Amino acid sequence: MIAKRLSSIKEDIASLCEKAGRDPDEVTLVAVSKTYPVERILEAYDAGHRHFGENRVQELVPKMQALPDDIIWHMIGTLQSNKVRLMADRVNCIQSVVKTSHLKEIEKRAAMHERTISVLVQVNISNEDQKSGCEPEELPALLDHASQLSHIRVDGLMGLGELTANRDRIREQFRHLFALREQHRAFSRSNVSLEHLSMGMSADYDMAIEEGATIIRIGSAIFGERDYP
């Protein structure tokens, strides 16, 4: 079931890329496995999938320990500095960095493990009251701070579209994130390169691909509906 859904989503991604004149190899599918047990994740793994995303450190850590070593793990949920140390020995990409204190803590913990951790800076693009991400104006200072660190690599930006049925609004927000990436791309350092744009989930990944996403984060369309969000 999961293998079947995965392959049909991958086909869909390929055809969306073709229509948009894009190379499907430049779009990475992160399977968002939050709330699903390791057995379900293994079904996707056995089908050849390797990128998985979780939104809570308490759930990510036991799954990282239980599942195969060659999985590439993405932390995509709201980041608490005091939890960074719990995942720093293993997590591959932290997509939800929003402030310099996050960068400082990741740098410190990655250094302790003699690793480099890839991060994306999450930008608030949704105009919602409950904001998620830094404000666009805060990007230059964050990128500049990151450029002085040696155990962090900034690989791009991440954004969450608004929770709305209005697809045009979500598309506008994806375009905004794309424009921000273009605007800040000139800021390129040895460890800062805004190659990636992580945007799009089960309900809107088609638009995200059309608008230039290189990482899409899909949960329910692969694993089925969750009992809770």
Ligand X SMILES: *Cc1c(COP(=O)(O)O)cnc(C)c1O
Site residues (CB under 6 A) for ligand X? 32, 34, 55, 76-77, 160, 201-203, 217-221
Q: Closer CB to ligand X, residue 193 or residue 220?
A: 220
Beta carbon of residue 154, minimum distance to ligand X (angstroms, whole number):
18
Task: Name 93's bridge partners.
Answer: 74, 118
Beta carbon of residue 184, minimum distance to ligand X (angstroms, whole number):
21
Please provide residue 124's backbone torsions phi and psi, each rounded to the nearest 5 degrees.
-75, 110
Q: Closer CB to ligand X, residue 153 or residue 217?
A: 217
Q: Closer CB to ligand X, residue 108 or residue 169?
A: 169
Beta carbon of residue 126, minimum distance to ligand X (angstroms, whole number):
12
* 8 Å CB contact between 91 and 71: no
Indicate the length of the chain as a whole number.
229
* 8 Å CB contact between 72 and 50: yes
Contacts of residues 165-168 at CB distance under 8 Å and 24 or more positions apart, as own/partner, are 167/204, 167/207
Q: How far is CA 47 from the centre of its chain?
A: 21
Beta carbon of residue 212, minimum distance to ligand X (angstroms, whole number):
17
Give the residue closest to ligand X by C-beta. 219
Q: Closer CB to ligand X, residue 21 or residue 229?
A: 229
